[in-house]
Amino acid sequence: MDIIKVMDEPLANKIAAGEVVERPASIVKELVENSIDAGSTSIEITLEEAGLTSIRITDNGKGMTTTDAVRAFERHATSKIDNEHDLFRIRTLGFRGEALASIAAVSKVHLWTSDGVSGTEVDIEGGKVMNHRAASLRQGTDITVSQVFFNTPARLKYMKTIQTEIGHTIDLVNRLAISHPDISFRLAHGQQVLLKTSGSGDLLRVLSDVYGIAVAKKMIPFHAENADYKVSGYVTLPEMTRASKNYMTVLINGRWVKSYPVNKAVLDALHTYLPIGRFPIIVLQAEADPYLTDVNVHPSKQYIKVSKEGELLAAVREGVHAAVKKAIIVPDAIVKEKKKPSTPSVQESFWKHPERSVKPTQNFQTTSEYPSQQKTAWTVEELPQNENLSINPVVQPQAFEITETSITEDDFEPISEQEEVVHTDERSDQKKSSFPRLLPVGQVHGTYIVAQNEDGFYMIDQHAAQERIKYEYFRTKIAEVDHKERQMLLMPLIFHYSADEQLKIEERLDALEEVGIYLEQFGPSSYTVKEYPSWFPAAEASSIIEEMIEQVLHTRQVNIAKLREDTAIMMSCKKSIKANHYLTMEDMNRLLNDLGKAENPYTCPHGRPVLIHFTTYELEKMFKRVM
């Protein structure tokens, strides 16, 4: 007896709708993408009950003829492609011909459209065209989708709360607005307007509309290109981060996509700039020949395959890293409410402000870094009514003996008096702002160094500062060592693995040998290592080898650059001074001098800030000296 049957079209459409229409946001996505493909410059989205009751999309695109308006709801009907060759040069957001048929299969649809010559209204219910008639001639399309899942009630129980569903739609429309800044978007839920953009084409203005002006002010542009890809966009400075990757938007040829490799490339570019567990707000636009991308991967069209992915990721890393490296500055403690007035130097204050004189109050030894302030700390005193009362915030810390983990002469080289600490971008001859010359005046809790100059005072995390210095030292030293240089062991290291892991290891021994790890069988479930590259720190050799083997098990190759980077970070952290450790003035001076010579003196290798700036103007505001 034959048991295989061909499903009827309504049933097939309902099954297919399960792939395309996951929630109301899916419907909004498909309809808005159609509006964008139709050349619209203004798109309005209005929702009722998060879209479960009603979704209305209105645009001013080119519209449709009467025949096209009816045919558009048939399965596999599309105007975007004509033959199989078109699949390799897709420039539109839609092309599969499934969206309208799938939406109509599980809802009630009312369509009004006009191409400027004829106008049409169409009513569809459960995938069937109920009627169509002539309509007015204003060019564009107005489509309303209501009673979503009315004929598949089981799907409704999987819908979340109204707040959750509207959140998905807001996130979607935000990304569509970002990807098309030249289109005016308006999203409303009932009478509440949730998003409105101007369509001026200014991406930064759209980012201000989406994320707020405070975030937009912290975003910097980046750009990079090679023979295959052109990458550009905006990324926030490291001080503006989020706890989720949801704020990372990747656009490829104007299409918002989800790409783990690109996200990882961004995070690699910001390595040592971002705190652990924090992520940037970024909009990354990549342009390439459509032949290099395949969007025919998933019905949602949010996942694509990219040819020459290595070239794309290299451009992403280069563009983002160069922009952030060039723009990073000392973070201020307080956001300024207005432009800071010019602040006189400590010497000028003594003569120009008798009511707020700056006087030497205490002696201590300094280096030749500050010849004009040898053996002198400057403090602020109030003189007027009672000359016997003074405010002296500078306290000479008690000198403690430096242990082996603190700063020593071998670790640092003093900076010469004439040497100017200036950071330049590797791809530009323009000079960046020079690292501020700082005079240390004390410590807080044996953890934070307090320093000053004419612009105010600074608080420096001593552990983070030395961690940055040592990280750059170890990173350079490790990179200089050839992994072929060997360190023999008196006692071999032993590693244990399960039978299935051993099979994978045996297949990939060549990858380990390429990076200097030679495994020898030792019993039924173990391997020994009798030597390893000399750049391995002895105390961490076992964990580094285990990490290499894990990489081989999961990726079939070893990322030696990442391992060296991680090792440099680990060594710098372990060998840096810790909190609650008191330093002498000489130690503080030496630390600040060497910090000024670092490539990036503003964050530690884990992305935490090294120093924070309190301007003189901000201090005066806090003490009500200025209005």
pLDDT digit string, tens, across residues 361-407: 333 333 333 333 333 333 333 333 343 333 333 333 333 333 333 33
Distance CA 587, CA 403 (A): 12
Do residues 564 and 535 lie in contact, with contact meaning Cβ atoms separated by under 8 Å? yes
Would the pLDDT of 481 be above 90? Answer: no
pLDDT score recorded for residue 243: 83
pLDDT score recorded for residue 200: 93
Q: What is the mean pLDDT of residues 338-357?
A: 42
Helix (H) or strand (E) holding 468: helix 462-480
pTM: 0.62
Q: Give the C-alpha distances (Å, rounded to integers) separating 17 from 99, 116, 306, 484.
A: 8, 32, 27, 58
pLDDT score recorded for residue 357: 37
Q: What is the mean pLDDT of residues 150-156?
A: 74
Q: Give the C-alpha distances (Å, rounded to integers) separating 91 from 32, 94, 229, 295.
A: 16, 9, 16, 10
Residue of higher predicted confidence among 282 and 367: 282
Strands, E assignment, 308-438: 356-362, 377-382
Helices 499-507 and 541-555 meet at what angle, rounded to 10? Answer: 80
Longest dimension (CA), the chain: 111
pLDDT score recorded for residue 376: 34
- Residue 397 sits at the vertex; the CA angle it makes with 334 and 364, to the nearest 5 degrees, is 100
In order, the DSSP letters of 483-539 are TTSEEEEEEEEEEE--HHHHHHHHHTHHHHHHTT---EE-SSSEEEEEEEETTS-GG
Q: Give the C-alpha distances (Å, rounded to integers) separating 265 from 231, 241, 257, 367.
A: 12, 17, 15, 43
Domains in the chain (CATH in brackets) are 9-196 (3.30.565.10), 218-327 (3.30.230.10), 346-474+578-622 (3.30.1540.20), 483-574 (3.30.1370.100)
- Could you report the per-residue pLDDT of 173-205, keeping only the tens digit for each? 999 999 999 999 999 998 899 999 999 999 999
> For the chain, what is the mean pLDDT?
77
Band the pLDDT of 83: cuts 50, 70, 90.
Answer: low
pLDDT score recorded for residue 19: 61
Band the pLDDT of 355: cuts 50, 70, 90.
Answer: very low
Do residues 108 and 147 lie in contact, with contact meaning Cβ atoms separated by under 8 Å? yes
* Percentage above 70 pLDDT, the chain: 74
The dihedral over CA atoms of 177, 180, 184, 190, expressed in degrees to the nearest 10, equals -30
Distance CA 113, CA 38 (A): 12
Band the pLDDT of 250: cuts 50, 70, 90.
Answer: very high
For residue 422, the tally of other CB atoms under 10 A from its CB is: 11
Would the pLDDT of 523 be above 90? Answer: no
Type of residue found at 198: S
- Least-confidence region, from 10-19, 325-334, 344-353, 456-465: 344-353
Q: What is the mean pLDDT of residues 119-147?
A: 88
Band the pLDDT of 41: cuts 50, 70, 90.
Answer: very high
Residue 410 structure tokens: 């071998």
